[in-house]
Structure 1
């Protein structure tokens, strides 16, 4: 087997191995994560063969013409130029439509799920003034350097633990008492900024009970690096029983499972 053929085979094997490794990852644990992972895979399925194709052409040209001492200009080929222009346009259209379909999803852009009159939360003075969403709601306040969560209707408060029920639509309303913070839950693909005097919305549905790490990703002062929390996902029955048992208290989250 010639060196050129060995190179092509090696590139093909490496690309297929990468694809199999990526598609073999664990199932998404939230609707947000599933949407974003799905978009990444769609773009990967387009980018990987294109990358492989370009690399093969590059290797072919380098091997075939490396000792060409008298190079000549490439012959004009209008059909080829039209083909790659149209192909590029179609690829960009596919990428744009795929990205747009995810960006406008109510789990990724939750303000889209509200009426147009309610999409700006700048004029509200408290959590009680916010519009109804139909989801299970948790009010989250960031301050230097903690996260506080309260649960409307139950008068329950938790510190650095945000409890939500599994398999239900959940809205997190966020605000800040001092500077800009940002709640980021990597495993669930949830990220939303918290602004002083404003109310922003994050929305998710989590399928797997457990504890998920949340951190602040907006530099907010000397204690920024230790401003973390747990998103505690429990079964709906456990969630309801916990709220009922701890009404009026500042309490710890229940254990998942």
Structure 2
């Protein structure tokens, strides 16, 4: 019996250890992803020992009492009940504080402007000057059926299905849409925000690594939804400035990335 009990306990411990190993820390590419991954790992490191503890109690009870022909109710133990309730409250408080500290980050929940179009047509959105001022590098990203258009108002540059941003800087993308709701999702950067017709929503990020990242629409928007994708090109500041200058006043092609 002891051998069987030990085998089950080892199997449970091995499974949870394997899960923990598979979720090993990977370097985040952006502030957004860093915050989200940090929260996930923080909660995971608390959840796995608790899961192991509960499973071991379950296995112990199943093995010890499976052939009990004369079961009796569990004896009352106020101290144990108080301890269990207090421990649960502490765990929930920890989860709440950890989650709140991430959710209030401007990279996860950036401040949003009110609807600026009085008639809901979006006609007043011709300039980013209508939006609240920020200290970030700013661009307008418009979703339409079925693609993405990025506009850099100060440089008068527009791209199709390519979003170019500088690395190691705070960047604000003001999202809007034409016909229906779209949602810009950059998985590797942990960045996601909905785009509504007649409104602007704010997506804020700061990317650590230069390179090319995939962006997709995650809000079903019609027959072409599955092909509504874009390339997010992250370059160093010097390359970014040169690209804007070279393409001022015209349709641009994204610069080459390392």
Instruction: Please classify the TM superposition score into its range, dividing by the shorter chain length.
Output: over 0.9
Q: Distance in 2 between matches of 1:101 and 1:226?
A: 35
Give TM-score, length-normalised by structure 1.
0.94
TM-score by length of 2: 0.94
Deviation of 1:177 (Å): 1.2
In structure 2, how many angstroms separate the alpha carbons of the residues matched to 1:75 and 1:242? Answer: 75
1:90 aligned onto 2:83: no
Q: Which runs of 5+ in 1 are unaligned?
A: 112-118
State the 1:46 CA deviation. 1.1
RMSD between aligned alpha carbons?
1.1
Q: CA deviation at 1:138?
A: 1.2
Q: Distance in 2 between matches of 1:81 and 1:234?
A: 57
Match of 2:116 in 1: 123
Partner of 1:115: none
Q: How does 1:169-180 map to 2 (within 5 A)?
A: 169-180=170-181
State which drifts further: 26-35 or 2-11.
2-11
Measure, in 2, the Cα distance between the counterparts of 1:62 and 1:155.
70
- Counterparts of 1:107-186 in structure 2, within 5 Å, are 107-111=107-111, 119-124=112-117, 125-126=124-125, 127-186=128-187
SS at match of 2:163: strand
Deviation sequence 1:106-164 (CA, Å, 0-9, x none): 100111xxxxxxx4330252133001110001110001001000112100110000000
Q: CA deviation at 1:14?
A: 2.2
Aligned partners of 2:42 and 2:72: how far apart in 1?
Answer: 39
Question: Is 1:156–1:243's contact at 8 Å kept on the other side of the alignment?
Answer: yes
Q: CA contact under 8 A between 1:161 and 1:231: conserved in structure 2?
A: yes
Check whether the contact 1:183–1:193 (CA below 8 A) recurs between aligned residues: yes
Q: Is the 8 A contact 1:148 1:161 kept in 2?
A: yes
Flag as ranges the 4+ runs of structure 1 deviating above 4 A: none
Distance 1:139 1:151 in 2: 7
Q: Pick which of 212-221 and 119-128 moved more.
A: 119-128
Deviation at 1:17, TM superposition (A): 2.5
Displacement of 1:12 in angstroms is 1.5
Query: 1:8 matched to which residue of 2?
Result: 9
Query: Which secondary structure state, in structure 2, belongs to the residue aligned with residue 231 of structure 1?
Result: strand
The residue aligned with 2:121 is none
Task: Name stretches of at least 5 consecutive residues in structure 2 with no aligned partner.
Answer: 118-123
Deviation at 1:252, TM superposition (A): 1.1
Distance in 1 of aligned mates of 2:18 and 2:98 = 25
Q: What CA distance in whole angstroms lies between the structure 1 residues aligned with 2:94 and 2:108?
A: 19
Number of paired residues?
A: 249
